[in-house]
Chains A and B, each alone.
Chain A
Amino acid sequence: MTLLHELSLGGKWLLVCTVMIGVVPLLAASYQFLLVALHSRTNHYGKVDDHLPRTAILIPAWNEEAVIGASIDRLMLLDYPRDRLRICVVDDASTDDTPVVIQAKMREYPGNVVHMRREKGGQGKAHTLNHGLAILLEDDWMEALLVMDADVIYEPPSLKKMTRHLADPEVGAVTAYIKEGSRPGNYMTRFIGYEYITAQAAARRSQNVLGVLACLAGGAQLHSRANIEAIGGRIDTSSLAEDTFTTFKTQLAGRRVVFEPHAVVWAEEPGSIDSLWKQRLRWARGNVQVTKQFRHLWFRPDPGHRLGSVTFGVFWFCLFLLPVIMILISASLVALYFIDFPLSWATFHLLWILAGLCYVFTTSYALCVDPGTARHTWKEGVLFPGLISITIITYACFPRPARWCIHSTTELLGFHLTHGEIHLAILFAYIWLAASMPVAWTARLLEPKRAGRYLSPAIVYVVGYGPLLCGVTFNSYVKELRGAAMTWDKTEKSGKVGMPA
């Protein structure tokens, strides 16, 4: 009996500990935001200088006739000496009028625009970039390389703000703050706009403080020539996350990577769940590949770089393993419910109270980090975890007023919740973290249907954009485990991106 009792007690506390693993990503996110506050002290501004290296801007383009001309025009408006700027468009065997548009721009801006044509295309962005890189490295004109996407818009001072960091020979690459710029936008682009405050403006500032960057934004990465040569003169083609590979290789080669939050680049991001799912699945699969490829780095501090630091490892794996953690929490809570209900209830409360406090701090601070974007994305910021999770947080943090609200509502509607119904609601709350991912997936399934026009956005607001992204990450595990083919699903662009007036 004693042994059985001890085993049962041990099992219970094991389940409690498993639930409390969920606290780690919450604390990691809060710590990451606290580091943002230190960016005023620990940044790279003390080592910048007005350097104007001869910069080649490399643009991979496949069937970009709608956007490439305007892109080149805007690049020529950059606050940067024209004789130090060369726009090299790598035309990835486009079948539309992209080559014609580029040739016209070559005539308009002689000496500033170069057309690099690939006769065989469709192999992905990294191959396209490598074609251009090989040509650029043939002579010594290029001192710095800016890799960007065809449709993004650089604010005029942004390139100068980036190149000044290359004055420090320790810096190998610089990235900018990509902002969502679809005009007109919709609910999805507003969610992405808010997400980019957290994932770029905030997270990358904190990575500046730590001295290690997870990823150079694909649409805004500036490299010194020395860095490009040090990483082998080419972009990795073996994965779907060539940006992250380049970022890791740069830091492994002993150079720093810096995020410049005041260099702003506007990009058109997916406006539908399906398009977002495809884009993020590519990114998430790329992250799985990076995690495997650099498995010897994690949690192994090295004097040459900070990729192996414990803090960076915790940040990386909290995001990478979040879907697994959510499933584990739900499974443990349900198991505890049947073994020891009062203990499960107390654990559930503690988890969600901590979630509530972290949510208030990270959301309010994220909105303060970029008030301009927050002005039109604050609703999506507040509803980022979803209406259901916010209801659970409210109940956990303020049980007395929440119970009063439920009691008043049911009384007003003329019914009373039975004991069984209350326990069903509790079980629903316990499994919600795991269930939110498949429910978010139904929003994608419904989107092409007639009812999906209204239903899918409603589901995203109720379930949350965060769980939607976790669903994508979970899908990426499945695809990688099954060894699914790596397809380069190019995000469809309409050229409707713009800078605010």
Chain B
Amino acid sequence: MREFDVVEQTDVSEEVAYERRLTWRAVWCLALVVVIVLVRQRYLG
């Protein structure tokens, strides 16, 4: 067993919130790809 000093429970809420925002940003970027595909199919292909 490792013997490190445990000071207090770490607050990782900021990090977790940022990672959640990244998930949503991925959704928007995928949506951008879908829009490009639809525009191409309908108007520019």
Contacts and interface: CB of A to CB of B under 8 A. Distances in A.
Partners in one complex: yes
Interface of A: 33-34, 36-41, 43, 45, 48-53, 143, 164, 166-167, 169, 205, 224, 226, 262, 357, 360-361, 364-365, 368-369, 397-401
Interface of B: 1-2, 4-10, 12, 14-16, 18-20, 22-23, 25-30, 32-33, 36-37, 40, 44-45
A398 B44 contact: yes
27 contacts: A34-B26, A37-B27, A38-B23, A39-B19, A39-B23, A40-B19, A43-B16, A49-B9, A49-B10, A50-B8, A50-B9, A51-B4, A51-B5, A51-B6, A51-B7, A166-B4, A169-B2, A360-B29, A360-B33, A361-B32, A365-B29, A368-B25, A368-B26, A368-B29, A398-B40, A398-B45, A400-B45
Given A45-B15, A48-B10, A365-B29, A53 B4 contact: yes
Contacts of B30: 361
Say whether chain B's binding surface is mostly helix, strand, loop, or mixed. Answer: helix
A401 B15 CA distance: 44
Contact of B4 (A33, A40, A41, A167): A167
Contact of A361 (B12, B20, B33, B45): B33
Nearest to A43: B19
Contacts of B16: 40, 43, 45
B22 to A, nearest CB: 6
Contacts of A34: 26
Given A169-B2, A262-B15, A397-B36, A364 B9 contact: no
Contacts of A167: 4, 6
A39 B32 contact: no
Contacts of B40: 397-398
A369 B2 CA distance: 35
